[in-house]
Amino acid sequence: MVKNGLFVLIMVCLVGLNAQGQTFTLRHVSDSLSLLVLESGGERDVFRLPYPTFAFTTGDVNGDGSVDALVGVVKTTRFDRRLARRLFVFQARGHRVRPLWLGSRLGGELADFTFKDGHVITLEQERDSTWFIGVYRWDHFGFTMTDCLLRHATSPPPFPPLPK
């Protein structure tokens, strides 16, 4: 789509619709700019993400009954100056997009993630270059690992893991 002279590629990986009729979508404008869009009650709020993004999904992360947006971004942080993949979580407050968690890291070096049954499932690399699949649950302000589905793999395993 071309809008105001800009080529806008719209990517909707998953659209989260909650009981309040709110939906999140992620729109890629360029390699280093994505827009997280919340449509709610006929209103629209846009949160600019001036970083490359690599993943997007939705789900109720914190158990409040509302759909949250999980976005994978590539950036440095105040606490980690390396350019790396990070997980950002956003919530709908009223008709506005608000950050819930802008994470520096979970357990290892994040490669990919998905969300299922109230859990963030990640593919991560350890410092010794082995791979693991971690399962995390929201714990008030951040995530706690609740399970490790695979550990010490010498090459990246298939992801997401197949259901048991």
| Confidence at residue 21, expressed as pLDDT on a 0 to 100 scale | 79
What confidence tier does 41 reach under pLDDT thresholds 50, 70, 90?
Answer: confident
Q: What is the pTM of this model?
A: 0.86
pLDDT tens digits, 87-119: 999 999 989 999 999 988 899 999 999 999 999
DSSP 162: P
Q: Check whether 2 has a pLDDT greater than 60.
A: no
Radius of gyration over every alpha carbon of the chain, rounded to an integer in angstroms: 16
Q: Check whether 17 has a pLDDT greater than 80.
A: no
Q: What is the DSSP string of 31-50?
A: TTEEEEEEEETTEEEEEEE-
Averaged pLDDT score across all residues of the chain:
88
Burial of 108 (0-12, 13-18, 19+ CB in 10 A): middle
**CB of 92 within 8 A of CB of 18?**
yes
Q: Check whether 68 has a pLDDT greater than 80.
A: yes
Q: Check whether 4 has a pLDDT greater than 60.
A: no
Q: Check whether 40 has a pLDDT greater than 70.
A: yes
Q: Check whether 64 has a pLDDT greater than 70.
A: yes
| Confidence at residue 66, expressed as pLDDT on a 0 to 100 scale | 92
